Chain A
Amino acid sequence: MVLADGYEPETLNPLLGFGEEGASKLFDGLVEHRADRSVRAALAAEVPQPSPDGTTWTVKLRPGVKFHDGTTFGSEDVVATYRAVLDPAFASTVRSNYSMVTAVDSDGPTTVRFTLAYPYAPFVHRMVLGIVPSESVAQPGPLERSPLNAKPVGTGPYKLTEWRRGDRMVMEANDDYFLGAPKVRKLTVVFAIDDNTRAQRMRAGEFDGTALPPLAANGMTDVKGAQVIKHSSADYRTVVMPMNNPVTGDRAMRLALNYAMNRGGMIQALLGGKGQPASTPIPQALPEFVEPTAQFRYDKEEAARLLEQAGWVLGADGVRARGPQRASFSLMYPAGDSVRKDLAQAFASDAKAVGVEVKLEGLGWEAIEPRMGADALVLGGGNPFDPDLKSYPLLHSSFAANGFNNPGSYRNAQVDAALDAGRKETDPAQRVAYYRQFQRAYAADPAMVFLVFLDHTYVVRDGWTGYQEVVDPHTHGLTWGPWWNVQSWVPKG
């Protein structure tokens, strides 16, 4: 099977973020996600459960699993992997996902015990981290020197046979895979950055599948023997409204802009209809968590009314002002990201319609970072597995201005309380109640203007059975997308 991808992974090391959300093909976590977002045991023998107080997770390991190099998998590998993530000397880039872990210990050769600083209900979703052999992380030091980056040794359904950078990656089936040898024996991923090139080569029959932007994918519906597939995602695009800006720091302004946005229009015009409107970070992909009263409708009159009420008076030049303060601010977007650029332009034009001036600036991340606290920014991200994983760092006050987390320094005591309660609660129904409460508190005092959840679109050639629709995380391509479970696909005929 030959797939084409627009993004080439920089590294295949799970500790540097490869397959952060699982489905890495080369590595396995203790658990893995299923199509319905629930987890099932992978390298664990059964789905791990927390202790009654929620701070200790004991994991029984699957016996008889071997790494690609033939060595036996055991608790020392799990302990070594997680300790390497936590040890600053390794400079692992996924460390922030595990900040609640205080200790990882081996309890015999087939049992591992995690000790957490506080009860953390969604911890099981973090156990998708790919386990690497303990020998590969025996020597502390920055992971940029790790041989795993280019020559991964995992337990996964596929082994890497060749990686020609900038060109292609070849994987072959791991016959010793503990869930049975994959039927798709050879997987080649070709890297072709340009969307049009990929579309042309797909049309010419070079590939069995690829990811394409919505508009390009819509043009592929006439290709014989292939179909266009759409995946919903938790991948949001939002405009961060920094609290330290005299315009965006005003609650009425943020509320009004949320009402002023024609989200449906953006999805039709910019995304070819492939997207969902977003009002909060909770995606439709988590239907039980979505609070229906926390969704913003498109209502310019309401926006104007809110602004008038807060003292923002329309001036002669069509821009509102409150006293000496003009309703005008800068919106930064990463130059080179065409979707964010389009959304930024749509945001500016919808804001203009209610008398708010938005000055656009396409910049590099280096230039954006120092200005995030004072200027608005188009940001993206998302995780479909649990609302805590993304909402907490994005909106909790403890993460204010902490790296790219909560860049606008949003602080809302009610939001904080609901997010704190949700991550510690283990009862599923009660958790849902907390996250709905969080969304209501957020919608009354929004920190941002969420615009859309992007759909991911793919073209897939026929010839296999086993495809299962899934909700994509922010990342897609080699790991997620239609081929997330390619190890259980079967060639037709």
Chain B
Amino acid sequence: MSSRARDIAALALRRLVFSIPVLCAVAVGVFLLGAASPFDPIHQYYGVQIFNASASEIAQAREALGLNDSLVVQFGRWAGGLLSGDLGVSRSFRQPVAEVVSERLPWTLLLVIVGLVLAVLIALVLGVLAAWRQGGWLDRCVTALGHALEGIPPFVLALVAIAVFSLSLGWFPVAGLTDAGAEATFGQVTSHLALPALVLAVSQTPWLVLHVRQSLLTSLAEDHVTGARARGLAEHVVVLRHALPTALLPFVTLIGARVPELVTGAVLVEEVFSWPGVASAVVRAALAVDFPLLVVLSLLATAAVLIGSLLADVAAAVLDPRVGVDG
């Protein structure tokens, strides 16, 4: 193993070790927020039966559920379960948390990965074309639209997309994973995935496309590109082979930095499109102060952000030997 590879491995290891206290802090933070919230988990447990229950039965149920124990005891019980592999039971889904996550995570990963890939493709194509013909009509459109979209939250975009493409034009289904009663076949899921993934992609694209355009413009002005042009190389070779690679490096880092936004975007998009993923479960868990589920989902989101930035840094270090790995 070269010393460079060893350094990168050390970076990854160091980051992973640092992530442990971060995750612990998130768990404690979510737990304290849940305890401080005015919502009473016993209401969630009872549902509409709360209206018939007597006060003494509710008190006994509290006791049986351990809701009367002190915060420290409740947290200790949860953390102990976590260490022995038991994530606890979700009160809003009445199902083990592990089951909720394993049923829903694949759908979220599908949505997020397709959305991210689409966003990157759109950003690369539009960003390169805009920078190539700087000041042209496409460049002006992309820049203006990009800045405008930066200010529009994903849920607005999602609602507008439903109004236009589903309700008015009828091109895509409104919501859900499949049509009512249909099996989750490839065709069904693809047609239902198209619009939410596109919305998620478009909501993330502005930052990426503007960034690609800007860094390509910078690298087009650099000496090695001027040199390539002077050698009489074809324009597409100059742009795609000489300018683009140097412009892409910071782009990789940017994608890593966009992961938190992607997570937030996924929550909003899944909620609007009734997509049965973990992100829409976040909303339900939060409304119900379903601590066991909420904390696991928060940890998942935190882990996604940490891993995203780690992968971006590792990729940058691998691609560019000049990048330092002591961070």
Contact = CB atoms under 8 A, between A and B. Distances in A.
Given A144-B45, A366-B43, A402 B54 contact: yes
Q: How large is the interface on B (under 10, 10 to 19, 20 to 34, 35 or more residues)?
A: 35 or more
Given A95-B57, A145-B96, A206 B50 contact: no
Contact of A17 (B43, B47, B63, B276): B47
Contacts of A89: 64
Nearest to B184: A164
B94 A91 contact: no
A167 B176 contact: yes
A367 interface: yes
Interface string B56-100: 111011011100000000000000000000000101111110011
Nearest to A367: B38
Given A17-B47, A167-B274, A366-B40, A190 B54 contact: no
Contact of A93 (B53, B63, B89, B276): B53
A190 B99 contact: no
B181 interface: yes
A150 B52 contact: no
Contacts of B52: 94, 96-97, 393, 403-405
Given A88-B64, A190-B181, A367-B38, A94 B49 contact: yes
Contacts of A16: 47, 49, 94
Interface string A2-37: 101000001101001100100000000000000000
B235 interface: no
Given A144-B91, A145-B96, A88 B276 contact: no
B53 A96 contact: yes
Interface string A396-419: 000101111100000000000000
Q: How large is the interface on A (under 10, 10 to 19, 20 to 34, 35 or more residues)?
A: 35 or more
A365 B43 contact: yes
B39 interface: yes
A381 B48 CA distance: 10
A142 B64 CA distance: 6
B51 A10 contact: no
Interface in B224-246: none
Interface in A36-56: none
Ranked 3 nearest A-B pairs via Cβ: A93-B49, A91-B61, A88-B60
Given A144-B45, A366-B38, 11 more contacts: A10-B47, A88-B61, A99-B54, A144-B65, A144-B94, A165-B95, A166-B280, A366-B40, A366-B43, A403-B53, A403-B57
Interface of A: 2, 4, 10-11, 13, 16-17, 20, 88-91, 93-97, 99, 141-142, 144-145, 149-150, 164-168, 170, 188, 190, 197, 201, 206-207, 364-367, 379, 381, 393, 399, 401-405, 474-475
11 contacts: A91-B45, A91-B61, A96-B54, A141-B64, A149-B95, A164-B177, A164-B276, A170-B181, A365-B43, A401-B55, A404-B51
